[in-house]
Amino acid sequence: MKKFAGLALALVLVLALAGASSAADGKLGTISADINVLATIGPYAKIDTVSPVQFGELLGKVGIYTANGLEEPTGTAEQFYHRAAPVFGVSPDLYVGNNDGYGWFAIETNCDVIVSISFANAGWLTSPTVFGVAKFGEPSTVLAWASSNQDLGGRPTSFTHTYMKGVQKYGIDGAIYIRSISEQEAKAYSGTLTVTVSK
């Protein structure tokens, strides 16, 4: 039985590819020979746990509403409306309120990748909406934007995630600009943010 297993082992493993090697002969002492071992790993990535962006219940008043909460290393939450207002082309003074409902996703890769974000607004408000992706701990640097009913003015919708060991987390802040009270009917809305990783 053992012999059979040995034969099977040899048979299954015998089909493989070639590499370099060296042989040696000589007076003993010590002689040695070696075989090179080869492998190739392809590019691979995983998008891990995702958490939705939660704006909460908006007051309905004209102005800017945000869902943020990504913290600076100092532990203070960076207010997203400062960065959203220029995209809407209005003054930050229109800020009305915030819900600490930032979304986030985590990715792990074995190479540099391009991370893109887009927003499907079917079932969403008609009010201009923007989302900004930032790395955890660096909320003031928006790496990529997504929007609904809002021109981003050439702002990037993707960024390069440079290879790093371990799982890396990115946060998504959001802002909605209600331009008039009647612009939005009072009800619940939902949309879909899509994060895409590509080589």
Token pair 């900004």 is at which residue?
132
Decide: is 47 part of the binding site for another protein (CB under 8 A). Answer: no
Q: 23 or 188, CB closer to another protein?
A: 23
Helix (H, G, I), strand (E, B) or coil at 56: coil
Decide: is 183 part of the binding site for another protein (CB under 8 A). Answer: no
Q: What type of residue is 14?
A: V
Q: 89 or 163, CB closer to another protein?
A: 163
Decide: is 50 part of the binding site for another protein (CB under 8 A). Answer: no
- How far, in Å, CA of 126 to CA of 123, rounded? 9
Q: What type of residue is 39?
A: A
Task: Kindly give, in sequence order, each residue whose CB lies less than 8 Å from that of residue 89, ignoring residues fewer than 6 positions away.
Answer: none
Q: 83 or 161, CB closer to another protein?
A: 161
Q: Residue 130: how many CA atoms within 13 Å on its side-chain side? A: 24
Decide: is 49 part of the binding site for another protein (CB under 8 A). Answer: no
Q: 43 or 156, CB closer to another protein?
A: 43
Among 19, 73, 75, 154, binds another protein (CB under 8 A): 19
With beta carbons less than 8 A apart as the criterion, state whether 191 and 119 touch.
yes
Minimal distance, residue 14 CB to another protein, in Å: 6
Residue 158's H or E segment, with its range, is strand 158-161
- Main-chain dihedrals φ then ψ at residue 174, nearest 5 degrees: -135, 155
Q: Choose one: 4-12, 84-92, 124-132, 140-148; the region binding another protein (CB under 8 A).
A: 4-12
Binding mask 83-102 for another protein (x = CB under 8 A): --------------------
Neighbours of 173 (CB within 10 A): 29
Binding mask 154-173 for another protein (x = CB under 8 A): ---------xxxxx------
Binding site for another protein (CB under 8 A): 1-3, 5-46, 108-111, 163-167
